[in-house]
Amino acid sequence: MAMKYGAARLASNLRHHYARSASLLHSHATSFGYKEVSEEEKSKLVGNVFNSVASSYDLMNDLMSGGLHRLWKDRLVSKLHPFPGMKHLDVAGGTGDVAFRILDKIKSLRHSARQGGLDNFNEETKIYICDINPNMLNFGKKRAIEQGLCEEQSLVWVEGDAEALKFQADSMDGYTIAFGIRNVTHIENVLSEAHRVLKRGGRFLCLELSHVEQPLFKQIYDYYSFKVIPAIGELVAGDKESYQYLVESIRRFPNQDTLARMIADTGFQKVEYENLVGGVVAIHSAVKW
């Protein structure tokens, strides 16, 4: 009886395996962490991950990075060089982390200009916060209320796909994407859309977890990534699997030089990157000519 059950289970597993293989062949396969899934399946799985982590996003970022993610985002905005009257698009930015920093910087610049009697900015600042996940957008809107920004006209919240943006060509002065590009299905489509919506002279900046090359540091970083981060996710957020995926997605992401070449191949100029914390994080920047 046990042998019959075992044979039946084996046959069922084989059918599942071949059905899944056929599905992946007919719809292009892509990676979800270390797993190979169909493109349609990846979109759903990534959505599930961010639905799961939204409520504990701030706390987990602080715990995983020791609070350094705040300094990394500050550095990103400093490299952007925001200015009053700019039209900026922050993609995968539903939490508002980057957008709020850009707005604060612009307000500070405008305040300084007014004090010096130089406030002649006629253009209205618009910062579009675009995210495919409505839960992340709702989390960001809640944070805006907590920070007294709920009536801020400069912030515009948009549900949208980084691979198929709803914005007009040549409409943005700046484009940022922080910790979002490694979760998309087609990086090249995201880069192409970024190039399309930027004006000539518009700046592109990407902040992303990247690759450590120094051997000893890499060994420590790998242990922390694969052992500590999922454990923290389970303890704090009750979700080990989502954080296991996030760690795996970093290792599957192109390294710094490869991503730089992809950005240049899209048509961007002045492509460069800055490593932070030995390559744990990299900021890639470029300009559309």
Closest CA to 212 of 199, 203, 225: 225
**What are the C-alpha distances in Å from 177 to residues 90, 255, 266?**
6, 17, 16
Strands 87-91 and 29-32: unpaired
Q: Which amino acid is at 126?
A: K
* 98/105 Cα distance (integer angstroms): 11
162 is known to lie in a ligand binding site: yes
Side-chain-side CA neighbours of 94 within 13 Å: the count stands at 23
161 is known to lie in a ligand binding site: yes
List residues forming the annotated binding site.
Answer: 95, 131, 161-162
Residues placed in the known binding site for S-adenosyl-L-methionine: 95, 131, 161-162
